[in-house]
Structure 1
Amino acid sequence: MVKLSAKCILAGDAAVGKTALAQLFRSDGTHFQKNYTLTAGVDLVVKTVLIPCTNDSVELFIFDSAGKEMFSEMLDKLWENPNVFCLVYDVTNEQSFNSCSKWLEKVRAQAPGVFVPGVLVGTKTDLAGRRAVDSAQAQAWALGQGLEYFETSVKEMDNYEAPFCSLAKQFYCLYKEKVEMFHGLV
């Protein structure tokens, strides 16, 4: 039985639903808070994810960071050497989607020359009548960046686990590849 730990960066503009997503994931869908205050700095959420078809697990240390520019210098230090990352945008806010390029650049700058698995998550799908970002457009952008794409509604508790389970599985697969490569050298 292998238990790994991975540092996960949760990035995106303010008020896109990063904290709600992380909190619902941590509580296994039992805690949806109706009101949130904007995250000032970083909150840490820790959750163990079991890897399907194995006895192994990955403990995700999710750094839920503020989406305000005024915290960006502090984020640089806290974001050092991520193992995985989750970019979050609000499907009703086109600017939050457009900002994902900037957030992706910031995350990748923390691990230059290293492949860091990531996902793009569109939140607030329960507000379908206010959708401003087409899911096909977001999926195409994600694929172009080498990211998996998910949409979720925390309010409806829909698909909130999938992005984190995907990240844990991607991290686990990278670990297994490195172990096999090491065994190949011996």
Structure 2
Amino acid sequence: MVKLAAKCILAGDPAVGKTALAQSFRSDGAHFQKNYTLTTGVDLVVKTVPVPDTGDSVELFIFDSAGKELFSEMLDKLWESPNVLCLVYDVTNEQSFINCSKWLEKARSQIPGTFLPGVLVGNKTDLASRRVVDSAQARAWALGQGLECFETSVKETENYEAPFHCLAKQFHHLYREKVEVFHTLV
């Protein structure tokens, strides 16, 4: 049984639901705060995720960072050397989806030449009548970037765990690959 630790950057525009997603995940869906204050720095959420069919687990250190450009300079240090990335956008806000390219580029620039596993999460699916970002469009973009794609409604506690379980599996898979390479060298 192996317990791994992974640094996860939670990125996206302000008010897309990053903090709600992280808090719901930490509390197993028991915590949805209706009135959030804008994250001005970084909140850290830590949770251990079992990797199915392995007996192993990944302790995710989820850095929930501010979405405002104003705070991005001071976040650069905290973004160093991520292991996995969770990009979040609001399905009712097309600009938040478009800006995911910028957030992805910023995260990948922290580890040039290294593959950064990640997920794209479309949040607020409970606001179906206000949806402007098409699921197929988001999925196609995510796949083109090498990301898994999820949709969630944190408010309705729908699918909020799946992105993090996927990240844990992705990180564990990379770990196993590195171990196998190491064994071929010995």
Identify the TM-score tier after normalising by the shorter chain.
Answer: over 0.9
The CA distance in 2 between the partners of 1:140 and 1:119, in whole Å, is 13
Structure 1's unaligned 5+ residue stretches are: none
The aligned residue for residue 134 of structure 1 is 134
The aligned residue for residue 27 of structure 1 is 27
Q: Where do 4+ consecutive residues of structure 1 move more than 2 Å?
A: none
TM-score by length of 2: 0.99
Once the 2 structures are TM-superposed, how far is the Cα of residue 46 of structure 1 from its aligned partner? Answer: 0.3
The CA distance in 1 between the partners of 2:98 and 2:68, in whole Å, is 15
Once the 2 structures are TM-superposed, how far is the Cα of residue 108 of structure 1 from its aligned partner? Answer: 0.3
The CA distance in 1 between the partners of 2:166 and 2:62, in whole Å, is 14
Counterparts of 1:13-162 in structure 2 under 5 Å? 13-162=13-162
Once the 2 structures are TM-superposed, how far is the Cα of residue 10 of structure 1 from its aligned partner? Answer: 0.2
The aligned residue for residue 169 of structure 1 is 169
The CA distance in 1 between the partners of 2:147 and 2:93, in whole Å, is 20
The CA distance in 2 between the partners of 1:170 and 1:157, in whole Å, is 23
Identity %: 82
Paired amino acid for 1:105: E
The CA distance in 2 between the partners of 1:104 and 1:96, in whole Å, is 12
Structure 2's unaligned 5+ residue stretches are: none
The CA distance in 2 between the partners of 1:143 and 1:179, in whole Å, is 26
The CA distance in 2 between the partners of 1:177 and 1:69, in whole Å, is 36
Once the 2 structures are TM-superposed, how far is the Cα of residue 55 of structure 1 from its aligned partner? Answer: 1.2
TM-score by length of 1: 0.99
1:69-121, CA deviations, whole angstroms, 9 ceiling, x for partnerless residues? 00111111100000000000000000000100100010000111111101000
The CA distance in 2 between the partners of 1:104 and 1:54, in whole Å, is 30
Paired amino acid for 1:123: N
The CA distance in 2 between the partners of 1:73 and 1:27, in whole Å, is 30
Q: What is the aligned residue count?
A: 186
The CA distance in 2 between the partners of 1:69 and 1:89, in whole Å, is 16
Paired amino acid for 1:146: G
The CA distance in 1 between the partners of 2:21 and 2:69, in whole Å, is 21
Paired amino acid for 1:28: D
SS in 2 for 1:126: coil
